Copies of this chain bind each other. A is one copy, B any other.
Amino acid sequence: MYVTIPSVTAPDLPLITLPDRGPHHAAFTLKAGRFLFRAGDTARLIYYVHSGVLRLTRVFEDGRRQVIAFGYPGDVVGFPVDGLHHTDCDAVTEARLQPYRRSALETGTGDPELHRHLLTAALHEIGAMQDHFMMLGRKSATERVASFLCVLKERVGQSIGSYDQVALPMSRADIADFLGLTTETVSRTFTLLRKSKVIALHQVHTVIIRQPERLTALAQGEDRLTPPKRARAPISAVA
């Protein structure tokens, strides 16, 4: 999952449902925190996410980290580059995964329909990543966080009463590394959104969208959050 420009994206990518292919490739469960693969691993399989959330990351030697993407239900992760995995991938939450042979993507032999599905997923991936560049290159902190919440609302938002609720299973640090910010900035932005009554935090990891239109506007830079004027300390020495 990437953060894409709302209006431009195909409204609902038809979630691919791929058929099971025998015992060797049965769906399986990955516990939270366990790694699915690491950068440099030989890629034998690619994975369709049935449920749960994965985290794809890259790290520098100096420790700087970038969350490349979150793998949400309907996503395909593990596209190989020259036969190798290119990122680390671990589970944010317990996840149910359907593995497919890399060859199912790379050679049409066997199952043409499956091949086409995986290829379509790869092309969607490219398109979504292109949109995400906009985010990282050109959006402000507020726009990034708002965009992130918008996308999650569309994909995994739950309607409760008259509001939509969004679960954020990942840590603030994950969100920061995904959006190219720091945890502090992400936290502060949540606080701003909260104080502006655009969102509410039901729990730390559960956001309620109180003003969806406002959030969308913020995501696209059509609106701004007024920074809280810091209470003017009465240093009226001069007057």
In the bound complex, do residue B180 and residue A130 qualify as a contact, i.e. CB atoms below 8 Å apart? no
In the bound complex, do residue A133 and residue B132 qualify as a contact, i.e. CB atoms below 8 Å apart? yes
A119 interface contact, C-beta 8 A: yes
Report chain B residues within 8 Å CB of A56: 130
Which of A79-87, A163-171, A205-213, A228-236 lines the interface with chain B? A79-87
As a 0/1 sequence over residues 110 to 149 of chain A, the CB contacts with chain B under 8 angstroms (1 = contact) are 0010011001001111110111111011100000000000
List residues 52-86 of chain A with CB under 8 A from any CB of chain B.
56, 58, 60-62, 64-66, 68, 79-82, 86
Closest Cβ neighbor of A86 among chain B residues = B127
Q: Report the interface size for chain A: residues with CB under 8 A from the other chain.
A: 47
A137-B136 contact, Cβ under 8 Å, with A81-B127, A126-B126, A127-B81: yes
A220 to B61, CA, bound (A): 9
Report chain B residues within 8 Å CB of A106: 116, 119
Report chain B residues within 8 Å CB of A238: none
A157 interface contact, C-beta 8 A: no
A134 to B108, CA, bound (A): 32
Report chain B residues within 8 Å CB of A131: 58, 86
In the bound complex, do residue B122 and residue A123 qualify as a contact, i.e. CB atoms below 8 Å apart? yes
In the bound complex, do residue B133 and residue A122 qualify as a contact, i.e. CB atoms below 8 Å apart? no
A129 to B107, CA, bound (A): 23
In the bound complex, do residue A130 and residue B68 qualify as a contact, i.e. CB atoms below 8 Å apart? yes
27 contacts between A and B (CB under 8 A): A10-B82, A58-B133, A62-B221, A64-B134, A64-B138, A64-B221, A65-B138, A66-B134, A66-B138, A68-B130, A79-B127, A80-B123, A81-B123, A81-B124, A82-B124, A86-B126, A86-B131, A107-B108, A108-B112, A122-B123, A125-B126, A126-B126, A133-B136, A136-B137, A137-B177, A137-B179, A138-B180
Closest 6 CB pairs of A and B: A137-B180, A81-B127, A108-B108, A136-B136, A129-B129, A86-B127
